[in-house]
Amino acid sequence: MPPFAYKFVLNVIPLVVAVILHEMSHGAMAYVLGDNTAKRAGRFKLHTHFDLYGSFLIPLGLYLIHSPFLIGYAKPVPVDPRNFKHPLPDMALVAIAGPLCNLLLAAITAIVLKDAAAANVNHMFIKIGMNFIVINLALFFFNLIPIPPLDGSRILAAIMPIRFVSKFYALESWGFFIIIGIEAICRQISNMTGANVGIFDSLIKEPLLITLNFLMS
């Protein structure tokens, strides 16, 4: 296999699979709770979640410029909270289904890899599996950040006073800018104090490494 194709399979494909299954789990939970919007839209099939930019071009572009990280996304699942008996708590369950799917995928892959390593399975299979675990854990911890539009914000909205919910969701279009801004401020604090603080280090990297060590032990 050519080096480019090898690295593409190793890095981009596991990301695409992880984000698509993440989105499908949202739709599955919504269906269980009484909203069949995703099913009526035909979104319970893998290919319907593929987004040309988020699932392919963005991760490919980051890979080509040798970015230290890869990000991507799938087409979000349509959900109509009006179909739920308890909109805010049920939306929280729909939201948590995505990250929990990623955590479950990481755990299952870790079990498979340990058996595969003992059986001396192909080295490429092991490397793809390890990347798949890391990507799923990164998605798990990143999506639990309680800032709209991430899944953690739906969980937080379910427990906050109802009068604050609409104002909280109004931040959704600014959410990623808020995350980037907080991270930039944290980096400056780290540079001035020598302390290792930041959203990505504290909320993603460190818990990811702890969980990875636990799964592979």
Q: What predicted TM-score, i.e. pTM, was given to this entire model?
A: 0.86
What is the C-alpha separation between 141 and 151, in angstroms, rounded? Answer: 10
Which of the residue ranges 8-17, 142-151, 167-176 would you say has the lowest mean pLDDT?
Answer: 8-17
CB hemisphere CA count around 96 (13 angstroms): 9
CA 117 from centroid of its chain's CA atoms = 26
What is the C-alpha separation between 21 and 9, in angstroms, rounded? Answer: 17
Q: Which is more confident, 46 or 96?
A: 96
Residues marked as catalytic:
23
pLDDT digits (tens, 9 = 90+) for 93-135: 999 999 999 999 999 999 999 887 767 777 788 889 999 999 9
Mean pLDDT of 22-34: 94
Quick one: DSSP state of residue 194? -
Count other Cβ atoms within 10 Å, centred on residue 118. 8
Look at residues 111, 106, 114 and name the one whose alpha carbon lies nearest to residue 132. 106
Mean pLDDT of 122-150: 90
Burial of 110 (0-12, 13-18, 19+ CB in 10 A): buried
pLDDT at 212: 95
